[in-house]
């Protein structure tokens, strides 16, 4: 397997953006949701396209695609932010999905190497839709996020 990575910049061409969404992004996010999200949340995949496009256009969204030859085989998405309570720059990974665990590990390694370019100090990972055993960084702390819904 000869993996290649594509750090997906803010789209400049609408047609190319739609093609990338159709051929790579949505199929991989759907696979990830079926494997990790749906069993955890009990809900079908329904992408919030407005939020996705807004974050992408404002450069808050970080997205990396992994390819084996020309076939998309993995995706990592995250949001950049700065906490209000202390000074650090965070990349919060929302999705890290590969068709194999080796692809997921390679995605984490790639995003780790991009740290200086992306200007983040800490990597926060959503464990409900991401496996964390392949992250090549020192774990500092873990906390629980509790989800509530209105009846």
* Adjacent-strand bridge partners of 75: 65, 97
Whole-number average pLDDT of the chain: 88
Strand ranges in 15-126 using DSSP code E only, listed in sequence order: 61-68, 71-81, 90-98, 122-125
CA distance 104 to 99: 8
pLDDT < 50: residue spans in the chain: none
Here the tokens at position 14 are 């609408």
- Which one, of 90, 91, 92, 101, lies nearest residue 131 by Cα? 101
Residue 26 half-sphere exposure toward CB, CA atoms < 13 A: 13
Residue 143 has a pLDDT of 72
- Could you tell me whether strands 71-81 and 90-98 are parallel, antiparallel, or unpaired per DSSP bridges? antiparallel
Contact 110, 75 (CB under 8 A): no
- Tell me what pLDDT residue 126 has: 81
Please give the pLDDT value at position 147: 67
The predicted structure's pLDDT at residue 76: 96
């Amino acid at each position: 397997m000869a993996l290649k990575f594509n750090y997906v910049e803010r789209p400049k061409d609408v047609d190319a953006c739609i093609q990338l969404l159709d051929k790579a992004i949505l199929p991989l996010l759907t696979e990830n949701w079926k494997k990790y999200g749906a069993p955890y949340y009990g809900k079908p995949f329904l992408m919030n396209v407005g939020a996705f496009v807004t974050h992408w256009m404002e450069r808050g969204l970080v997205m990396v695609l992994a390819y084996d030859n020309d076939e998309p085989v993995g995706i990592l998405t995250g949001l950049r932010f700065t906490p209000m309570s202390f000074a650090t720059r965070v990349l919060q990974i929302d999705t890290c999905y590969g068709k194999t665990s080796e692809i997921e590990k390679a995605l984490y390694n790639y995003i780790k190497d991009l740290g200086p370019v992306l200007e983040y100090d800490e990597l926060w990972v959503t464990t409900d839709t991401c496996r964390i055993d392949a992250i090549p960084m020192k774990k500092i702390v873990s906390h629980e996020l509790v989800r509530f819904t209105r009846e």
